[in-house]
A and B are shown apart, each in its own frame.
Chain A
Amino acid sequence: MAQQTTTPATATRMPAGDARAAPRPARRRRGDRVAWLFVAPLALIFAGFYLWPAVQTILSSFFEWSLLAPFDPLDTSTWYPVGTDNYTAALSSDSFWNAAFNSLVWLIVFPVLVTGSALLVSVLIWHLGRFAPVFRTVFILPMTISLAAAGVIWSFVYNSDPDVGLLNAVLRVLRLDIAFDLGPLHVRTGEWLADIGSLDLGFAQLRLVNLALILPAVWAFAGFGVVTFTAGLSSLPGELVDSARIDGCRAGQVVRHVLIPHLRKPLIITYVVSVIFALRTFDIVYVMTEGGPAQDTTVLALLLWQQAFAFLTEPRAGVGAAIAVLMAVVMVFLAYPYLRSLMGGGSGDEAR
């Protein structure tokens, strides 16, 4: 195995350890011991506070329990096995499918908006040359803001009172009070966090208020895409673009034929990381609407939290655990290719 000469932009596989230190069999066990001494503190914390709780979640999803009468895998007196009842309870409830649908909206819309807006912004800024970093900072800045704070901040923009909320104030100045029905699409402005219309999809109704929640998340997260794309663009040879221009390509064609192919990897990364992020969504919904009105904006992460922490009159923590397991399965399934690439293309040549 060759020595790694990685730069941040090109490293594609897990750090492999250097080949020249490859141990002869006799020294191997001692080498293992030294390495594990280094790994041990982190591994122990990880095992105790991630792996074991994750295992508990999976186990406890087959038991009935609540936080006040918790399931303990090591204490049989707390075991009230219910088979797969928690899963059937979750999968047969309207609340679950409503939340799953809203999460699906997040999974589809959020990554598209993040990737699209970040790509647009990065390419525009890239053309600016000397002043690019200043402008770029503006878009990266919201990344440091917590989603809880982002939700609070956007609530001011969305405030339905046109004397408080900027968005409605602007619409009032423009004398715009949009309300129209276009086939299955119903749109009305004004009550941004309650009801801005819906899109009838036949099998379900997409409440547009979810988009009003996705927007602040895009605002907060687009900076990640900007950084990623900028990294990709910085490795793009300027001559390539120039020669394309000299060949008479218009701006649109340059983007399509030169930039996009070159940015394939950053595109995938931004998209996949956004997908991962979208399913975790809790903070913004919790802060802005708490899942309301009715259950219009409840997503899976919020439903799970309510099952375990808020719905106390019935022992529902097992159902919450079941939802967590389902979410994890979906995510691993969706992001498996990404996981493989993080692992170094799944190459099995690592030492063991």
Chain B
Amino acid sequence: MRRGKGSAILLYGSVTALCLLWLVPVATAVMIAAVPIGQTRNGWWHAGFGDLTFDNLVEAWREALSGYAVNSFVIAVGSVVLTVIAGALASYAFARLRFAGKRVLYLLLISTMIVPVQIILIPLLPWLRTLGLSTGDLQFVGIILVHTAFGAGWAIFMMASFFADVPEELLEAARIDGARHGDILRRIVLPLALPGIASFAIIDFVFVWNDLLLGLSLLDREHQPLTVGLANLQSPHLAQENLVAAGSIIAVLPPLVLFAVLNRYYVRGLFAGGVKG
């Protein structure tokens, strides 16, 4: 494809401008997090290199967010592990087996992708209390199960399609060799579908990590995730933009790092999630 030089410059110029515009909010937060509050109040854009400091990040972490961050990790890792294990088992059945009730169950699972989470929100608290999952560290178990249930639809939707991509010939050969379903799943399907599973795991991690509503509504102050901690830090009664900005950087860092390291899987997951259907 050959185009005129002028139009190429125009194209690159406009895309670059758009990119810069897109990065402005993040750059704003990074700068406010990196300069003292006094500088922020007099225009952070006047700051020089000498003003840069890690104090805000350190203080936001120490004074406010470290506990929340630990909670977020426990909740996100727990949810992803449980969802991937339970989801992979079920996906094998959905992708490779026939069974009574399959279509109804699939419809119910898939509908979670459409129906707003609010449909389960209000009775959850009393229900978790009835189950004895509303106090102490058991709250983690409760919210992990809720996240797993809520992520089940996506899990099946994505992983089953990756499992379905595994060539039938391989499975047929294994079956002839007398392999059972557990072996087939473990030795053939899982290794081949691993990139797909990784994609789902990352997306699920980002999703759970970024949840505010469930964490806010179901957990006590000691067990709430980082998103809630950030909202609390933004509490309107204090002039601490520097800490809030630092907090927002801390809150977005883990998914961002995951994104940077595993970009390929993440995009592939989104791609599958979006384009299927």
- Chain A interface residues toward B at CB < 8 A: 3-4, 6-9, 11-12, 14-15, 17-18, 20-23, 31-32, 34-36, 38-39, 41-43, 45-46, 48-54, 56-57, 60, 67, 70-72, 121, 124-125, 127-129, 135, 137-150, 152-157, 159, 161, 163-164, 166, 169, 216, 219, 223-224, 227-228, 230-232, 238, 241-242, 265-266, 269-270, 273, 276, 279-280, 282-283, 286-287, 301, 304-305, 308-309, 317, 320-321, 323-325, 327-328, 331-332, 335, 338-339, 341-343, 350-352
Contacts and interface: CB of A to CB of B under 8 A. Distances in A.
Nearest to A140: B267
B125 interface: yes
A53 B101 contact: no
B276 A352 contact: no
| Range class of the B interface residue count | 35 or more
Contacts of B274: 224, 227-228, 231, 266, 269-270, 273
Given A11-B164, A18-B168, A49-B146, 11 more contacts: A4-B164, A14-B103, A15-B161, A20-B168, A41-B85, A50-B120, A143-B270, A280-B118, A286-B212, A287-B234, A324-B122
A343 B143 CA distance: 28
A148 to B, nearest CB: 4
A245 to B, nearest CB: 8
Given A39-B93, A42-B90, A146 B270 contact: no
B67 interface: no
A156 B28 contact: yes
Nearest to A336: B114
A31 B98 contact: yes
B98 A342 contact: no
Q: Across chains A and B, which 6 residue pairs bring their CB atoms closest together, nearest first?
A: A146-B210, A35-B99, A70-B126, A49-B149, A56-B123, A351-B98
A279 B16 CA distance: 32
A231 B271 contact: yes
A159 B98 CA distance: 57
Contacts of B122: 57, 60, 67, 304, 308, 317, 320-321, 324
Interface in B4-29: 11-12, 14-16, 18-19, 22-26, 28-29
A38 B212 contact: no
Contacts of B42: 163
A38 B118 contact: no
B22 A164 contact: no
Given A8-B161, A18-B96, A148-B231, A308 B115 contact: no
6 contacts: A32-B100, A43-B105, A156-B25, A227-B270, A335-B114, A338-B114
